[in-house]
Chains A and B, each alone.
Chain A
Amino acid sequence: MIEVRSLVKRYGRHLAVDHLDFTVEDGQIFGFLGPNGAGKSTTMNIMTGYIGATEGDVLVDGHSITQEPELAKRSIGYLPEQPPLYTDMTVEEYLLFAAGLKKVPRHERNEQVDQVMDMTGTFSVRGRLIRNLSKGYKQRVGLGQALLGFPKVLILDEPTVGLDPKQILEIRTLVRRLAKDHTVILSSHILSEIQEMCDHLLIIHHGKKVAVGAPDQLERELAGAPALEVTLRADPAAASGLLLGLSGVNTLAPRPCEEAGCCSFRLEQLPGTDLREAVFTRCAEAGLPLLELRRDAITLEDLFLRLTSDDPDQELPEESAPEEEEVS
């Protein structure tokens, strides 16, 4: 389990991470979602002990990354955004070095490296210099390095960035397979990727937590009750009177309607209500033909855009400060 407690990272006047709090339970695939420069990489760098936090702490299996860094780091495998590869080594040499670095017992090293090369599909390039590999293979070697020692937690920073569609699919399949035995934390600015892979997600913006939860739970909780689009063959005044008479209506807004003699409305419901049946019954009783009734559900994408859209009033000092990706 990873607990992030009130994490703050300041670069001069720039607040890269702003009092971030969340918990990742064992066995979860936890997604970090946020626009570029939201603080994803900085948070991951703090969680893995690469950089220190200005305030707050990270506990990995109860061990503080600042107080007991070696114990905490033993439970973590980290693949940064740019894989940390020594390009003058062959794949096998590099993985053996990483195994030594992660204190894998000497007699297990060769076996573990073989296993990891097998899992990441790098067995065929084991004797090649890393500098001569394609980006996809470099990414796999980086992932192999993170897997060595088989840590409980894998932290992957944008693992599919810059790869071609086939490589993206391969990496996603691999991550899903790894998630059976590991807790996986991964970041992305691509919504569909997070939606497809993660069972829990955290949306951050300007270093702040804006939402956390399972994707469908977030849709339910944050979107509130979905609005209804209603089209009737009726006089607009009569129709609006009829609809406003229903209990559970929050707002009713007329919509342009192209058909003659018809009117359309967008009906926003109070949270926890579903007025579709009531609308149908009331229209039928009043003898007004209901031409169209559609539920306008807010998707995760709308939600993401809404949560991470910038309020111009809030952007003051951050503008001149360096981007967090550059600093990390």
Chain B
Amino acid sequence: MIAIYKRELSSYFNSMIGYVFIAALVCFTGIYFMAYNLYSGFLDFSYALMSLMNILMFTVPILTMRSMAEDRRGRTDQLLLTAPVPLWAVVLGKYLAMVTVLFVPVFLAAFCPLIIAANGEAHLVSDYASLLAFFLMGCVFLAIGMFISSLTESQIIAAVGTFAVLLILFLWEDLIGFLPSALSGVLSAFSFRTVFYNFAQYHVFDVGGLILYLSLTALFVFLTIQTLLRRRWN
């Protein structure tokens, strides 16, 4: 797993993808931080993160589109799947490499609350809790993207598909409003936007929400493994 993790991580930085992903997120973190906190004088960095969530939805598909699809198209999956490595280690190695790339802009964003604190009052606890929720939400996005990438050989389809799914999940709350109330009550539990807003807007440490994020991540990593297994046996 470590060999796959290292290779994937270095490939993100051998190509432009890793740099573009990090640059886009860091750039928009700076813009929102400047607009909300430095220019408008809000004390909470979490407000900037709420806007940054949209940018995350646009950039995650760029990172995840090649994760599985490229191996299948280039037939390098033959190397990975015939090596004495269990399938879960292949998938997890690739997933953790993407998580590491995501960690870079999140780590850089962690300096922003300190800048606020250096210049006056700051809500450090709620800001860092929001940043944790933002990171875990990003991990869910990456798992969804990896799963969609495992369904196709085409990186374009993987990227567009991931974006579409993330957009639907973003609009989840509004969409389920059209459903009968009994159904929408159950489905609203899966709204990851609500969980994030609990942290960022209402400063509530939503433990249930974090469990939802971790469960969804595990579910989509599991589904990716199952997709590869299914393809092997069909």
List chain A positions with a Cβ less than 8 A from chain B: 11, 45, 48-52, 69-71, 73-74, 76, 78, 80, 82, 84-89, 93, 97-98, 100-103, 145
Q: A50-B81, A73-B83 are in contact. Are A84 and B75 (CB under 8 A)?
A: yes
B71-82 Cβ-contact flags toward A at 8 Å (1 or 0): 000111111111
Q: How far is the CB of A134 from chain B (nearest CB, A)?
A: 18
Does A87 contact B74, Cβ atoms closer than 8 Å?
yes
Q: How far is the CB of A95 from chain B (nearest CB, A)?
A: 12
Does A101 contact B85, Cβ atoms closer than 8 Å?
yes
Binding site secondary structure of chain B? helix
List which B195-234 residues lie within 8 A (CB) of chain A: 232-234
Does B84 contact A80, Cβ atoms closer than 8 Å?
no
Q: How far is the CB of B101 from chain A (nearest CB, A)?
A: 16
Q: How far is the CB of A259 from chain B (nearest CB, A)?
A: 61
Q: How far is the CB of B7 from chain A (nearest CB, A)?
A: 5
List 23 interface pairs A-B (beta carbons < 8 Å), by A numbering: A45-B78, A48-B82, A49-B82, A50-B82, A51-B232, A70-B84, A73-B82, A78-B78, A78-B82, A80-B75, A84-B74, A84-B75, A84-B78, A85-B74, A86-B76, A88-B14, A89-B7, A93-B10, A101-B80, A101-B83, A102-B83, A103-B85, A145-B79
CA distance A51 to B75 in the complex (A): 13
Q: Considering only CB atoms, which chain A residue lies closest to B77 in the complex?
A: A84
Instruction: For A101, list chain B residues within 8 Å (CB).
Output: 3-4, 79-80, 83, 85
CA distance A145 to B82 in the complex (A): 12
CA distance A84 to B85 in the complex (A): 16
Instruction: For B14, list chain A residues within 8 Å (CB).
Output: 88-89
Does A86 contact B11, Cβ atoms closer than 8 Å?
yes
In the complex, given contacts A49-B81, A69-B86, A74-B84, what are 8 additional A-B residue pairs having Cβ atoms less than 8 angstroms apart? A49-B82, A51-B232, A52-B233, A70-B84, A73-B83, A88-B15, A89-B14, A103-B84
Residue of B6, B78, B232 near A52 (CB, 8 A) is B232
Q: How far is the CB of B63 from chain A (nearest CB, A)?
A: 16
- Counting from the closest, the 6 A-B pairs by CB-CB distance are A100-B3, A84-B79, A73-B84, A52-B233, A48-B82, A101-B83
Does A70 contact B81, Cβ atoms closer than 8 Å?
no
Q: How far is the CB of A114 from chain B (nearest CB, A)?
A: 18
Tally of chain B residues near chain A (CB < 8 A):
25
Does A86 contact B82, Cβ atoms closer than 8 Å?
no
Q: Considering only CB atoms, which chain B residue lies closest to A46 in the complex?
A: B232
CA distance A300 to B73 in the complex (A): 38
CA distance A89 to B74 in the complex (A): 14
Q: Considering only CB atoms, which chain A residue lies closest to B70 in the complex?
A: A86
Instruction: For B78, list chain A residues within 8 Å (CB).
Output: 45, 50, 78, 80, 84
Q: How far is the CB of B169 from chain A (nearest CB, A)?
A: 32
Q: How far is the CB of B146 from chain A (nearest CB, A)?
A: 18
Residue B179 at the chain A interface, CB threshold 8 Å: no
Does A50 contact B232, Cβ atoms closer than 8 Å?
yes
CA distance A75 to B20 in the complex (A): 41
CA distance A85 to B83 in the complex (A): 14
Does A86 contact B7, Cβ atoms closer than 8 Å?
yes
Residue B108 at the chain A interface, CB threshold 8 Å: no
Does A88 contact B11, Cβ atoms closer than 8 Å?
yes
Which interface residue of B11, B79, B81 has the most chain A CB atoms within 10 A? B79
Residue B110 at the chain A interface, CB threshold 8 Å: no
